[in-house]
Structure 1
Amino acid sequence: MSVSEIVAQLGQRLKQARLNADLTQEDIAAMTGLSRKVIIRAEKGKANLETLVAILIALGLEKQLDLFIPALPPSPVQMAKRKAAKRQRASGKRVVKPDTSSPW
C-alpha cells in the first residue's frame, strides 16, 4: 500500500469509529475544540498528529495508540552506549598554575 492509501484508510477508520459511537462531526469538533472542517479533513486522511490524538481521545480510543506504535524498551546496544557514556568519577584534571620561580 502507498502512503496515501494508508492515510486514506486511517481516515475512513476514524469516520467509522465516530459513526459507531453515534457522534456527529460537530460533536467531535465540540469535544476536541477543533473545527468541523478539521474533523472532515482528518476523516479524509489529512490530519496532523495532534488532531489525530485529540479525535482518538474524544472517541475513547487513545489506548489504541499502544497497538499502533507500541512502546519499546531500549535495545541492548543503546543501553551499553548509555552506560558507557555515564560518568563514573571525576576526570582528575586540574589547572596547573605556572611556576613563577624559574627565569625562563
Structure 2
Amino acid sequence: MDYSHITMRLGEQIRQRRLNRGLTQVRLAALAGITRQKIIAIERGDLSVGMMAYARVLGALDCELTVVPAAMPTLDEIQGVFD
C-alpha cells in the first residue's frame, strides 16, 4: 500500500473524529498545542507532518493509533471500476 494513501486515510479519520466531537480546527489545534495550519496539513494527509504532531492531535482527541494489516477491497467495493 502506498504510504501517501495511509496518511490520507489517517487524516480523513482524524477530521471525522474532530467533527464528531464538534471541534473546530482552531480548537483542536489549541488542545493539541500546535497550529491550525498543522491541523489542516494532517487532515489533508500531508507527508511532511511529523509523527509528534500526529501524536499530539490523537492525544487531544482521546485516541490512539492502532496498526492493522491492510485489507484488500471486496468485490462490492470495486464494483464498477472496470466498466
Summarize the alignment of residues 71-86 of structure 1 with structure 2, pairs less than 5 Å apart: none
The Cα offsets for residues 34-87 of structure 1, whole Å up to 9 and x where unpaired, read as 1100000011112211000000010011xx33x338xxxxxxxxxxxxxxxxxx
What is the CA–CA distance in structure 2 between the aligned matches of 1:33 and 1:7, rounded to whole Å?
A: 21
TM-score (ref. length: structure 1): 0.58
Q: How many residues align?
A: 66
Identity of aligned residues (%): 36
Summarize the alignment of residues 1-104 of structure 1 with structure 2, pairs less than 5 Å apart: 1-46=1-46, 47-61=49-63, 64-65=64-65, 67-68=66-67
Q: Which has the higher contact order (CA 8 A, sep 6+)?
A: 2
Structure 2 counterpart of 1:45, one-letter code: G
What is the CA–CA distance in structure 2 between the aligned matches of 1:2 and 1:33, rounded to whole Å?
A: 29
Larger Rg: 1
4+ runs deviating over 3 angstroms: none
Structure 1 residue ranges without an equivalent (≥5): 70-104
Structure 2 counterpart of 1:34, one-letter code: I
What is the CA–CA distance in structure 1 between the aligned matches of 2:67 and 2:15, rounded to whole Å?
A: 17
Deviation at 1:33, TM superposition (A): 1.6
The Cα offsets for residues 1-42 of structure 1, whole Å up to 9 and x where unpaired, read as 311111111111110111111101000111122110000001
C-alpha RMSD of the superposition: 1.4
Structure 2 residue ranges without an equivalent (≥5): 69-83
